[in-house]
Structure formats: structure tokens, C-alpha cells
Structure 1
Amino acid sequence: MKLKIGIIGCGGIANGKHMPSLSKINEVEMVAFCDIEIDKAQAAAEAFGSEGAKVYEDYKLLLEDKSIDVVHVCTPNSSHKTLTVDALDAGKHVMCEKPMAKTTEEAQAMIEAAERNNKKLTIGYQNRFRPDSQYLHKATQRGDLGDIYYGKAQAIRRRAVPTWGVFLDEEKQGGGPLIDIGTHALDLTLWMMNNYEPESVMGSTFHKLGKKENAANAWGSWDPNKFTVEDSAFGFIKMKNGTTIVLESSWALNSLDVDEAKCALSGTEGGADMKNGLNIHGEDFGTLYTKKIELENKGVDFYEGETVDEAEVEARSWIDSILNDTEPVVKPQEAMVITRILEGLYESAKTGKAVYFE
């Protein structure tokens, strides 16, 4: 038997990530599609649906279908909590796109719904499944870097503001680059450290370049009047054990030091960074060394090596966790800590004061 999947939200992230990845997994079939723009749901069903796939404009009708085992929530951030809780209460396992929610309270409600229904819940942090992330995680968990006490989470674009959908709408998204791409960099950093106990945060947000008209941008100029979120955000995060993390995120920054969903780590035995590939550095026999990790498997004429699609690996891992009744790689409790930190950084930016957690 195949797991039957329903897709709620048939926009960019569903078409660019979720549905293409699921379509490559033999053990699943997408049987239902829902979007408030019914044409998008119909197009998705035609492109990715099984024979007789159903199309809905109202997600509650999709959830009434008892044959559906799994739901993927691919909608704006403001709806994550409601859709996820309703799907879990309807007896479905849920993959919710990142970030988990706009607030910690919403994220907690999602976890409680998963627990009371004995269903699996995961969040779409696909960057954990990149080859460099997988390698570095194995190294950090083995103790190669020793006690990691400093980290840098980076998600900086020079000019790449998403101008479609609701990305620029603070009410629907909860924020700009911090909650959109900064969340990925923070997830990687915490995962490498295996540290989910924040003590305090201090944050700053800026709406500087977003006010410019006819600005250079990868996806065309944005409308300054619709740009209601920050264009850059930076944070200082202190964990309970003293570990410190600096978080940088921007869609538009006058900087050539750009990188997205990357982290750098410093520990007592060594360090690592993801700049221009994965580098691990340390000291042996009184001498410093730097190892550049080769992950592309090239080196043979006429063979470019195998490429890894992290979205496909993520989907495969998620489906396997359901079929084998194991924990998903991205645990909702971890994702909730990310939401808690991001919420604290936004609050700090508004008040100008540090936010302390209990």
C-alpha cells in the first residue's frame, strides 16, 4: 500500500520543492490538492496527482477524506498553526513548511496536537540534508570540534528580495529575511551544536533598502509601498551554557560577503565553515591545518559525479520515518526553539532591549 498525501497550498514552495520530490518516491501518491486559488490546485493535480486526484478550495473538505495519511502544509506562515493542528486532529501526519509558526505559542499548540493524536510532525528545514551539512553534523556529533562555544549563522543576499506571493506582507509572514532565510541558517547552527537552550537574545532589524524605488533585484524591482517587513536583521544569541551565536540575515545588503543557509563553528578542538565548500580546521602536533572536504565525487574524465537534491533526500527521510515509525530528522521541539529565538529577536528589535527566556 502507498501512503496517500494531500497538499495544502499549491504555490511556489509546493511546486518547487514538495511535489517534485514526493513524485520520485514510489511508496507515496498525491491524491488531493487544495489552494484558495482553485486553478493552482487543479494545475498541481494535473502535474503531480494520481489518477482521480481530488481538488479543493476549502482545506477542511480535504481533511475529511479519511484515506489521506499525510498532509503537507505549504502556505504562508500565518496559517501554519491552524492548518497543522486541524490536520493532526483529523488523524494525518504533517510536514509543515518552515518556519514552524509565527509565535512560540502557535508552535507549542502544533506540538500538543501531534502528541494528543499520536501523529508525526516535522518542519521543512531541507538544508540539513545537504551533503556538507550531513558531513559536518557527523563530525560535530563525533566530537571533532570539541566543545563548540561560538557560532555564526549567515543568510545574506546582496539583492534577492522575493517579490511574489506574500513575502513582503508582515501580517501574513511575521517578518522578512530573518524568518524566511535566517531561520535556515539558525537551524543549521543549533543542529550542529545540538544546543536548544537559549538564555537571551538581542536583535536589530532594518528597513533601509526596501524603501528604494526601481531597485536592482534578482526578481525585478519591488514596490516600496508593499514592502512592510525588514530588509535586514541581525541578532546576538546567548545560550544557557554560555555558547554565543551571531545571526545575520538580509534580502538586500550592500555587501559582497554573501552566503545563504550557512554556518561557521568554533570549538575547543577545531573549527569549521561552509565558505566556498566545507572546511574543517584545527591543530595537530603544534601545527595548524585546514581540511577542505571533497563532496562532489569528481575526478574522472567525462564523469561529473552524482548530484544530491536535498529536497528529495528530505522527502525520502520524512516518508521513511512514517513507514518505519521512527523520529523525523527535524523534530518539532527543535523547530519550536528556532521560532522562540526569532520571536525574541523581533521583540528585542522593537523594544531596543534584550529578551531573556525562562
Structure 2
Amino acid sequence: MGNTYRIAIVGCGGIANGKHMPSLAKLSNVQMVAFCDIVPERAVEAAEKYGAEGAKTYTDYREALKDATIDIVHVCTPNDSHAEIAIAALEAGKHVMCEKPMAKTAADAARMVEAAKRTGKKLTIGYNNRFRPDSQHLKKLCEDGEFGDIYYAKAHAIRRRAVPTWGVFLDEEKQGGGPLIDIGTHALDLTLWMMNNYKPKVVLGTAYHKLSQKENAANAWGPWDPKKFTVEDSAFGMIVMENGATIMLESSWALNSLDVDEAKCTLCGTEGGADMKGGLRLNGEKHSRLYTTEVNLQAGGVAFYDGKQEKDADLEMRKWIEAIDEDKEPVVTPEQAFVVSQILEALYESARTGKAVYLNQ
């Protein structure tokens, strides 16, 4: 890669500090030159830690977008502002990586897809779990036809007690929902990607507020405030695709369950199956006998090899910059991410109305 790309970070909070900026900092052909946050101190702190020489800070992203030297914008803000900022950046001639989920609503996600097509700029969404070693290996097996026709799958996003109590996670107005749109979105994206199936027909969903009102609840990050817990604590759904395939989606921040899995999927096909529970496991039938195989995902898969694997976030950022540099499609396309948002919104609607929601009719 011979070019150097100038990047603006919009939203310098947890996800920017936890994923975007540290991983971008490892790439030799990018410079983070602009940092924007409604809290000025956060932008300044990010610039001091990750900024190139002369990096600027902003409290209004519109001012940052006026800089014609900026090539790429990373949108790391709450869900309700994803579409507004991403579309403005695309229209300003920038490529955009937006954090997941794509948008608060499917209509906003559709507007983002349209803006990317209209401007000719690249848009991707931060579904980083696609870049894990188990995900990468499983995707190759799917592409090779290892499992045949995948007609049943499960998308897992279950936490026993891990409610995020900071930021706007509990604010339905800002986020659009709770665990379904926060972590269920990762599991659903992963599952659709493995199946390479983006044509949903009908969904049926349920959402619960059963544990959210408990006082002094046990929680990984300390008790939540029931008065501020305005989103669901768990949500579940069934998605039937146009080709008849069925996906069961489960998501929770708080659930009385010991069966805990997050950003994982189970696949069942005509020739075999796989799941990500306790590592990547494959199953099938050969020579009239059933088999189960546990895949060694250590670097190189060789006992004497002690090389280090690239972290999923590092690989995600590298592949994103490569897509721009080589003018190719990003790993996560906006069209794929739109379908995830479309299904999530339909699940919430079904949960509210108690009725199945038909899509693309």
C-alpha cells in the first residue's frame, strides 16, 4: 500500500478507545488527524495519545468534514446519530467506517446505503466478530460447501449478568433498544454471513423487561439503576428466510441461564454442521458413522509454532484500509448490514405488536 490515508475519529468514547484508535495506530499508512467529541476533553485526550503531528480537535463533526485533506471518517457515536454523521461524511467525499449497528432504524440504514452508492465512497460497518480466527475458518468451510445447504441456524448473544451501565446503553431513545440491537446484532450478522443468506421473509420476536427493574442486582459492572433501564433485558426471535431456512436468535444482558454465549452461531446443513461453543466444533457423518471434530485455532495450528495471531480488531482495520487502497469491496458491505438492521427492527415491531412481521413483500 503506497498511499497514506488521513482519518477523522468522530466520537472518542469507549469503542473508539477500545478498538478503532489502538488498531489504526498499528498501521503505517494511516494518520489520525482529527478527533471530534461533544466532550472537548475526550477529543483532546485522544489527539494527544493517537494524533499525528498537528492533529486537530472538534466538538462539531461538521467542522471536521470541511477539511478536504481527510480521506476517511470513523463514526463511533451512539446509534441514533450513525446515519446523520455517516451520510454527511459520505457526501463530503470521505470513506466511512461506522460502528455497529448500522443505524437506529432500518430507514436510516437504507439512507446510508443509498448515500454510499450515490457518492461512490466506501461504507462499512464495524462487525468485528467476522475477523476472529474461528469466524474466518468457519466462513472458509461454508464457502467450500462443507455443510451443504444450511437450513437451520442459531445466533447466540446470551449474557447471564452483564448489563452495560455506562454511556447511553440503557437509553432507548439514543440506542433504539437493548441487548438485541447491541450484542444480538453481532450474532445475527455472523450467522447471516456464514449462511450467505440475506433474504428474510418473516420474523416473530419477543422482548422482556423481567430483570431490569430489580434493585441492587448482581452485575458485572455493578448494579444498574432500574429508573434508567428503559430497554429490554432480553429478546428472542425466529427468522424465516425466503428459501425456507430458519434462524433462531437469542440475546440478553441479564438472564437466569448458565448457557452463556456471545457473538457465536450454530449452523446445521445437509452435509454437516458446526458450532462455536467452547471452541469451533464440526459435526457430520462419514462412512455411516457420526463424527465430531474440534478445530485447533492456535496460530498456524502446529504444536511447535509460537507465532502470534493478529487480533480481530487489527485485522478488521487492516482489511478496511486495504479495501480503500485496492478499491475493492469491504468485508462488511452496507447492503449486508442493512439486512441486519431490517431484521432487528422487525423483531422489535413483532415484540410490540405480538404479530409476525413480513419483509420484502
- Aligned: 1:62 with 2:64: yes
Of 59-68 and 111-120, more deviation after overlay is shown by: 111-120
Deviation at 1:57, TM superposition (A): 0.5
Instruction: Give the structure-1-normalised TM-score.
Output: 0.98
Post-superposition Cα deviations, 1:17-59, rounded to whole Å, max 9, x if no partner, equal 0000000000100000000001000000001000110000011
CA shift, 1:339, in A, is 0.2
Q: What is residue 347 of structure 1 aligned with on the other side?
A: 349
SS in 1 for 2:212: helix
Matched with 1:337 is 339
What CA distance in whole angstroms lies between the structure 2 residues aligned with 1:308 and 1:248? 29
In structure 2, what residue type is equivalent to 1:268? T
Mind listing any 5+ residue stretches in structure 2 that lack a counterpart? none
Using the TM superposition, give the Cα deviation of residue 308 of structure 1 relative to its aligned residue in structure 2, in angstroms: 3.1
Q: Which residue of structure 1 aligns with residue 314 of structure 2?
A: 312
Which residue number corresponds to residue 157 of structure 2? 155
Deviations 1:50-87 (A, max 9, x none): 01100000110000000000000000000000000000
Q: Give the residue type in structure 1 aligned to 2:276.
A: M
Output the amino acid matched with 1:79. S
Counterpart selection for 2:85 from 83, 86, 89:
83
Match of 1:113, as an amino acid? A
CA distance in 2, matches of 1:42, 1:143: 50
Cα separation, 1, equivalents of 2:105 and 2:182: 14
Q: Within 1, Cα distance between the matches of 2:102 and 2:144?
A: 28
In the TM superposition, 1:167-178 aligns within 5 A as 167-178=169-180
Q: Give the alignment of 1:98-117 within 5 angstroms.
A: 98-117=100-119
AA in 2 matched with 1:259: D
* Identical pairs, percent: 67
Three-state SS of the structure 1 residue aligned to 2:9 is strand
Deviation for aligned residue 1:304 = 5.5
Distance in 2 between the 1:47 and 1:214 partners?
37
Q: TM-score, normalised by structure 2?
A: 0.97
Cα deviations across residues 184-236 of structure 1 (Å, max 9, x unaligned)? 00001000000000000000000111101111111111100000000000000
- Structure 1 residue 335 displacement after superposition: 0.3
Matched, 1:181 2:149: no
**1:264-310 Cα deviation digits (max 9, x unpaired):** 00000000000000011100010111111001147757x75523310
Alignment partners' CA distance in 1, 2:351 and 2:324: 39
Superposition misfits of 4+ residues, deviation over 2 angstroms: 297-301
Matched, 1:211 2:213: yes
The CA distance in 1 between the partners of 2:145 and 2:86, in whole Å, is: 36
- 1:1-358 aligned at under 5 Å gives the runs 1-297=3-299, 300=303, 305-357=307-359, 358=361
Q: Give the counterpart letter for 2:10 in structure 1.
A: I
Residues 128-156 of structure 1, C-alpha deviations (whole Å, 9 max, x = no match): 00000000000011100000000000000
Q: Aligned AA for 2:106?
A: T
- Aligned residues: CA RMSD: 1.0
Q: Which amino acid aligns with 2:135?
A: S
Mind listing any 5+ residue stretches in structure 1 that lack a counterpart?
A: none
Structure 2 distance, partners of 1:53, 1:225, is 40
- 2:102, 2:126 → 1: CA distance? 8
Tell me, in whole angstroms, the C-alpha distance in 2 between the residues paired with 1:167 and 1:308.
29
The amino acid of 1:316's aligned partner reads R
The separation in 1 between residues aligned to 2:277 and 2:70, in whole angstroms, is: 42
Is the partner of 1:316 in helix, strand or coil? Answer: helix
* Shift of residue 102, structure 1, vs aligned partner: 1.4
Q: Distance in 1 between matches of 2:31 and 2:302?
A: 38
Q: 1:156 to 1:22 in 2, by over 3 A?
A: same
